[in-house]
Structure 1
Amino acid sequence: MKTVWGIMAHVDAGKTTLSEAILYNAGQLASIGRVDHGDAFLDTDSQEKNRGITIFSKPAVFQYEGESFTLLDTPGHVDFATEAERAIFALDYAILLISGTDGVQPHTRTIFRLLEENNIPILIFVNKMDMATADLKQCMSELKAELSDKCVLSSDYESMALADEEVMEEFLENDSLSQQTVIQLINARKVFPVFSGAALKNQGVEELMQMMASLSKSVERQSEFGGRIYKIESLGRDTRLTFMKVTGGSLAVKAILSNGEKVNELRIYSGLKYQQVDEVSAGDVVALVGPRETFAGQGIGFEENRPELSLTPVLSYQVKLGEEIEPRLAYPKLLALNEEDPSLQVSMDSENQITMHLMGEVQTEILINKIKNELGYEVSFEEIGVLYKETINGLVEGVGHFEPLRHYAEAHILMEPLDPGSGIQVVKDVSTDDLALNWQRLIETHILERQHLGTAIGAPLSDVRFTIIGGRAHIKHTEGGDFREATYRAIRQGLMEAGTTILEPYFRFEMILDNDFVGRAMTDVESMGGTFEAPTDMNGQSKLVGVAPAVNIRNYASKLTAYTKGEGRISLVLDGYRPCHNPDEVMEQYGYNPDADIDNPASSVFCSHGAATIVPWDEVKDNCHVPCRTNRDTASDFQDEPINSKRMNHGVDEWLDPDEIDKILSMATHSNQGKNPKKGWHYGEGSRPRRVDSDYVYTAPKAVKPRDKYLLVDGYNLIYAWPELKEVLDVNLDGARGKLLDILSNYKGMTDYNVIAVFDAYRVKGHAVTASDYLNIHQVFTAEAQTADAYIERFTHEHGKKYDITVVTSDGLEQVIIRGAGAKLMSSREFIEEVERKANELRETFGIK
């Protein structure tokens, strides 16, 4: 089976050397190359050779023991952590490399967490065991303490057996474990076997590769086509390359991807070389030529798009261009960097200032050379500051309404803060009876399609859960863009009401320095607003671990080097975002006014007297058409609250009088009186038209034939409104539906109506509209994501002039729409009374008791 493996570690652990050793044992290389010698097979970029570090993830293809492997050598430097995280999306398995001399480093913990989040099985290789200071026992203690107690030596079957009761029984019976059992434990991430050796001397590598082959044989693939795009290469290239891992099925040249783009060429890369192929299959890592709209993290076929990266830059830099370079001409070319690494977020403001988000100094130096070599631009970077975020202060329901002429949408979104590092989450808690599934999905799309800004300093929102709890669409006037406006305004309205908290990035640091300087370091950390654990002794030196705001500690390395005379060292890893330690100063620095942000309005647009009216954010909830849920302390308290306790500002079963509806329709119909009168008529100052010429010819009215009478009933709506049927519904849905059909059948026998009972079938995937007879009436099941209301509205619009239609409904908006189509109305309560009245008349007529 074809499998994809990634080697991941902190910088200088020996990733590239291990890659070389694996390729050498597989017969791909004649000798093991070295990074520091510049002859490594995968470190082909000139900057990688000059710096002796891996910067870009690249594939190498090889065969071993009848299995086909693709090996990805990923960057280990913290500044290129986003490149390593994107590569994880393509992996079946990961080899986590640990330096036997350095042990578990801060970045090692970050990598392990990313692999855990992506559910990637892991093999651990402790490298550099040929060094005198290497200590496998110490490394194992650190692995168990800082990563997971599932880290066990590859030969320690007893420890593996502790992971599962059935496996323990096998061990007790055989005093060993079968290879198949070990494979199952690894694939289930119940154990992380630890191998050890020295990659440079090819020690312990073959044992690791044998386990790789055994795991590869256990992989199963889907027959349906799917792919995960993990990398784009376009800057300075004639050909745009889309690197994708095929997760299922196969893909041929000239095929059309699920996004509608054509594949003109398929390339299998191995190092610098590539081979053109006509078809690729599951397990291949391929570069697609042709697609122009693909992006890193995109899912193709049955695969879904990947969530946003966990690791993101925390520093903002301004790009300084040479005087001869026009920013407006350079900017479109620099935008290609966003395709290769979306976390850079290259942007240009109204003053033609170009900015980027970067991880640190090493990345800026790499980008300077990359831009020069591939675009020919001489640039430099000037640090602007750290990147702040914001989160909402507390639970709030945001409401957005968008109703200019011939448009309509309303969205209700519950927002609540989440734990640090949770990012953005979206859930739904609204019945499709109240908001069709397609509109719910559209709201979710609009929540996730952009970065929403906080109201304190206008920073991106994070660590927030959005729950879609209500909304409304119009069968005729709602368009997709309407819900975009309603969603954006709902989020902004909630943020203005609840307020936001500024979040700033924190670095987790580890300092190694002489004991004499520990007191100075702790004092500095406290002055930064950071915290630390008690120092630990390390053979005459001290290790100080803690967290501190990135804005204060990011440049501390130079200061540490100065006062320790070069003996102290520090490592920094992003530890996530936390509440800002100096919010007042930051707000004063930004000077952000949320009311003046015209790109992020919190107000809503309502229709009043035929014209659009802007309603301020603090008045929206008094004017919204779908009632708000009562604010409570937790989201769980909303579970039993009716989602729509009123419709269009009317309570449940509150009936609009037909005269009132006719008045509404009349206002809408004659709102343009006097503006464009028909020929021969004059409205003047009065409300009654009068004839102004004498060319009127009387025409006798035509004989009117009686029209067929139809009664349309929203089945489930009526069941919920009828106490007797509601009791049956609590026990069995089919029983309640059958009883209603029997009642309607009897009612049909007492009247001259053609009765149609309409039931929602929106939960049935792929369901089309179906109609059938039940005794003397008709029953209709709607299509997927189509409600009974929508079906009835469409029926009345299409047949309102042909038939005499009566609709049973208590929905205010539906009443207006149906009345406007010429149909008659009957509330659920009135219909229940009508059925009882007809039954009583029948009993009296025939003397039935």
Structure 2
Amino acid sequence: MRTLNLGILAHVDAGKTSLTERLLHEAGVTDEIGSVDDGSTLTDSLALERRRGITIKAAVVSFALGETTVNLIDTPGHPDFIAEVERALGVLDGAVLVISAVEGVQAQTRVLMRALRRLRIPTLLFVNKIDREGARYGGLLREIAEKLDPSTIAMDTVVRVPGLRARTRSLPRTDQVFGAELADLLAEHDDAFLADYVRDERSATPERLRRSLAAQTGRARVFPVHFGSAITGEGVEGLTEGIRHLLPAAAADADGPVSGTVFKVERGPAGEKIAYARLFSGTIRVRDRLPFGDGKEGKATAVSVFDQGTDRRRPSVEAGRIAKLWGLDARIGDPIGLEPPTRTEHFAPPTLETVVVPSRPGDKGALHLALTQLAEADPLIGLRHDERRSELSLSLYGEVQKEVIGATLAEEFGLDVDFRASTVICVERPTGSGEAVEHIAKAPNPFLATVGLRIDPAPTGSGIGFRLGVELGSMPFAFFKAVEETVHETLAQGLRGWQVADCTVTMTHSGYWARQSTAHGGFDKSMSSTAGDFRGLTPLVLMDALRTAGTAVHEPIHRFRLDLPAEALGPVLAALAKLRAVPETPRLNGGECTLEGTVPAASVHELGQRLPSLTGGEGVAESA
């Protein structure tokens, strides 16, 4: 039995969860098709998801298609929850990107398609809602080719069936025109196919076309397009055949060394931590001791494998499958066993931040604990504790995410909170070099440690580097490790309250007092250096060095793309100048214009609000 870990992705309201429900019904997992509007879908299990009718957390459900076991991951479509999509991409063998036949290619559709292409994830496109008023076919195919990828091919044709009960049907394309179109597309990416086809067009037999289409779809070179309706079931059979025959199964070696990755963490009824993991190699059995994360180890106390719509307890899980593991104090992104070939950082990090305040002052400790647990399930919310102001801050993608966090705190933890107005997350970068040193046993140094540090600017995007400018053997390794860890912790908040980025910290001086004993042979803390001395002294020295270097605050910048009528270019350029955007040379195509450039994150929302009035409602904005 082959296994396929399949992701369903889409712009919000394209019908992604409805398609998931239809696939489960067609596979015999459910007797009735759940409704998003009624809150009866299988994968939207959170009460908040059912109330709002949107997917918030990625959900896993399994079903069989012939000889293929499909582990389907239903991901959120709203851009505020792009972090859930981020984590799912790293464990997929293939994907279905859902597009509305009415709204067409939307901003989030393009963001998702770019990530799928960049990561070479084999993808089928499913154009949903062909039964809706305003649904398009030929024009939408051209739009898909222009905005997503030119290497797409329609596998179906859409026809209107006359009569009293007129409806739209999706029929597989099998005519000669389709064969010639498919052969031309495949020849663009396969030199051997091209050589044979040029020599003799009859070499493009239906069987060879099918084999080559499957091979090139599996390499993410070609993207088949299916048409249908998740609500009526029209065209879904053709999509399931594409899933079975065109998307590659998981490559897995059950006898190899254990290698997996954690992509989701949740809490059980008793508060126990449950890790969702994709296993790339090896086999995990109950009671196995497993290395995970950064040098940690734990015992798998229970294993649950997804099967026919739910998860079932099993004694083991083999490579290629997705499992729920108990007993591991793991975080999202932690490797299990050997480092797996996961893909990370596909989307921009959050650019907004908000302060969370409990309605009852006495709940501050409980709020910190609750937010810590939420951060385990979603590391990108970036919980930050400002000790000087005694405030808790969260990173956000948007205002809807703020509402979801507030509802979660109320429902799961019984905490009512208020949020302050969201602000843009900035970073501090050193403007020069600075150096400071504190010597042991010299005032005002209260610690039994010598620490000297120099901070220098580094290229944008390089992060924080730590180097030794002293001999590694000049003091115990644990003391150097304490300094390095404390450097990273201290730079989480710089001179102006923002995280310090893109710098190199060099340790220039070191010194300690060796372990000493009293006359009675006991360890004397007052005469011996400990790691705590270095953890206490490092922030003081580092901040002195940073003050000497100086810092500048930088706000995040987004790339934007605007599609608009050519006559609206002048007013749009004037508006972009007021928003501090930097546009590139516009590209004109008849009466249409495409404009790309960069814009400060703080101006993105206003740009989206102003664009409709500037373009008569015809402009489309995309930013990332």
Same fold by TM-score greater than 0.5:
yes
Q: What's the counterpart of residue 224 of structure 1?
A: 257
- 343, 347, 351: which is aligned to 1:310? 347
Q: What's the counterpart of residue 3 of structure 1?
A: 4
- Greater shift, 81-90 or 521-530, is seen at 521-530
| C-alpha distance 499-315 of structure 1, shift in aligned 2 (>3 A) | same
1:227 Cα deviation (Å)?
A: 1.3
1:524 Cα deviation (Å)?
A: 4.1
Whether the 8 Å contact between 1:446 and 1:487 is mirrored in structure 2 is no
Q: How does 1:764-779 map to 2 (within 5 A)?
A: none
- Pair 1:68 & 2:69 matched: yes
**1:91-116: CA deviation from partner (whole Å, max 9, x where unpaired):** 12222222233333222232233334
Q: Distance in 1 between matches of 2:286 and 2:264?
A: 20
Q: What's the counterpart of residue 299 of structure 1?
A: 335
Q: How does 1:471-620 map to 2 (within 5 A)?
A: 501-507=552-558, 523-531=574-582, 548-554=599-605, 568=617, 574-575=623-624
Q: Distance in 1 between matches of 2:508 and 2:139?
A: 56
- Pair 1:362 & 2:436 matched: no
**1:375-417: CA deviation from partner (whole Å, max 9, x where unpaired):** 11122222141111244669x8x88988758978888998532
- 287, 292, 308: which is aligned to 1:254? 287
Q: What's the counterpart of residue 184 of structure 2?
A: 158
Q: What's the counterpart of residue 164 of structure 2?
A: none
1:373 Cα deviation (Å)?
A: 0.9
- Pair 1:194 & 2:225 matched: yes
Tell me the secondary structure at the aligned position of residue 45 of structure 2: coil
Q: What's the counterpart of residue 83 of structure 2?
A: 82
- Pair 1:281 & 2:282 matched: no
Q: Distance in 2 between matches of 1:250 and 1:529?
A: 54
Q: Distance in 2 between matches of 1:179 and 1:489?
A: 67
Q: Distance in 2 between matches of 1:261 and 1:251?
A: 12
Q: What's the counterpart of residue 522 of structure 2?
A: none
Corresponding residue pairs, total: 565
Tell me the secondary structure at the aligned position of residue 260 of structure 1: strand
Percent of aligned pairs with the same amino acid: 26
**1:532-556: CA deviation from partner (whole Å, max 9, x where unpaired):** 6899999999998765333234256
Whether the 8 Å contact between 1:442 and 1:483 is mirrored in structure 2 is no
| C-alpha distance 339-413 of structure 1, shift in aligned 2 (>3 A) | same
Whether the 8 Å contact between 1:535 and 1:543 is mirrored in structure 2 is yes
- Greater shift, 29-38 or 492-501, is seen at 492-501
Q: Distance in 2 between matches of 1:161 and 1:428?
A: 52
Q: Distance in 2 between matches of 1:472 and 1:143?
A: 61
Tell me the secondary structure at the aligned position of residue 241 of structure 1: strand
Q: Distance in 2 between matches of 1:96 and 1:250?
A: 31
Q: How does 1:737-752 map to 2 (within 5 A)?
A: none
- 374, 380, 384: which is aligned to 1:343? 380
Counterpart amino acid of residue 338 in structure 1: A
Whether the 8 Å contact between 2:262 and 2:277 is mirrored in structure 1 is yes
Counterpart amino acid of residue 196 in structure 1: F
Q: How does 1:159-174 map to 2 (within 5 A)?
A: 159-172=185-198, 174=203
1:79 Cα deviation (Å)?
A: 0.8
Q: What's the counterpart of residue 204 of structure 2?
A: 175
Q: Distance in 2 between matches of 1:187 and 1:469?
A: 49
| C-alpha distance 413-137 of structure 1, shift in aligned 2 (>3 A) | farther
Q: What's the counterpart of residue 417 of structure 1?
A: 459
| C-alpha distance 426-67 of structure 1, shift in aligned 2 (>3 A) | farther
Q: Distance in 2 between matches of 1:112 and 1:429?
A: 43
Q: How does 1:394-405 map to 2 (within 5 A)?
A: 404=440
Counterpart amino acid of residue 530 in structure 1: A
Whether the 8 Å contact between 2:260 and 2:281 is mirrored in structure 1 is yes
1:55 Cα deviation (Å)?
A: 1.2
Counterpart amino acid of residue 412 in structure 2: E
Q: Distance in 1 between matches of 2:67 and 2:339?
A: 28
Q: Distance in 2 between matches of 1:471 and 1:503?
A: 31
Counterpart amino acid of residue 375 in structure 1: F
Q: Distance in 1 between matches of 2:438 and 2:240?
A: 60
- Pair 1:459 & 2:498 matched: yes
1:7 Cα deviation (Å)?
A: 0.9
Q: How does 1:643-682 map to 2 (within 5 A)?
A: none
| C-alpha distance 192-402 of structure 1, shift in aligned 2 (>3 A) | farther
Decide which structure has the larger Cα Rg and report it: 1
1:150 Cα deviation (Å)?
A: 3.9
Q: Distance in 2 between matches of 1:497 and 1:203?
A: 68
**1:604-625: CA deviation from partner (whole Å, max 9, x where unpaired):** xxxxxxxxxxxxxxxxxxxxxx
**1:510-536: CA deviation from partner (whole Å, max 9, x where unpaired):** 789999998766654432223568999
- Greater shift, 56-65 or 318-327, is seen at 318-327
Q: How does 1:624-703 map to 2 (within 5 A)?
A: none
Whether the 8 Å contact between 1:152 and 1:192 is mirrored in structure 2 is yes
Q: What's the counterpart of residue 328 of structure 1?
A: 365
Q: What's the counterpart of residue 385 of structure 1?
A: 423
1:157 Cα deviation (Å)?
A: 3.3
Counterpart amino acid of residue 503 in structure 1: H
Q: Distance in 2 between matches of 1:467 and 1:106?
A: 40
TM-score norm. by structure 2 comes to: 0.74
Q: Distance in 2 between matches of 1:535 and 1:522?
A: 10
- Pair 1:353 & 2:391 matched: yes
Whether the 8 Å contact between 1:415 and 1:494 is mirrored in structure 2 is no
- Pair 1:49 & 2:88 matched: no
Counterpart amino acid of residue 208 in structure 1: L
| C-alpha distance 197-465 of structure 1, shift in aligned 2 (>3 A) | farther
| C-alpha distance 549-288 of structure 1, shift in aligned 2 (>3 A) | same
Counterpart amino acid of residue 115 in structure 1: L
Q: What's the counterpart of residue 730 of structure 1?
A: none
Give structure 1 stretches of 5+ with no counterpart. Answer: 576-849
TM-score norm. by structure 1 comes to: 0.56
Q: What's the counterpart of residue 31 of structure 2?
A: 30
Whether the 8 Å contact between 1:94 and 1:122 is mirrored in structure 2 is yes
Q: Distance in 2 between matches of 1:385 and 1:181?
A: 51
1:328 Cα deviation (Å)?
A: 2.5
More contact order relative to length (CA 8 Å, sep ≥ 6): 2
CA RMSD of aligned residues (A): 4.8
Q: Distance in 2 between matches of 1:184 and 1:471?
A: 59
Counterpart amino acid of residue 359 in structure 2: G
Counterpart amino acid of residue 8 in structure 2: I
Whether the 8 Å contact between 1:506 and 1:574 is mirrored in structure 2 is no
1:290 Cα deviation (Å)?
A: 2.0
| C-alpha distance 297-153 of structure 1, shift in aligned 2 (>3 A) | same
Q: Distance in 2 between matches of 1:509 and 1:230?
A: 29
Q: What's the counterpart of residue 375 of structure 1?
A: 413
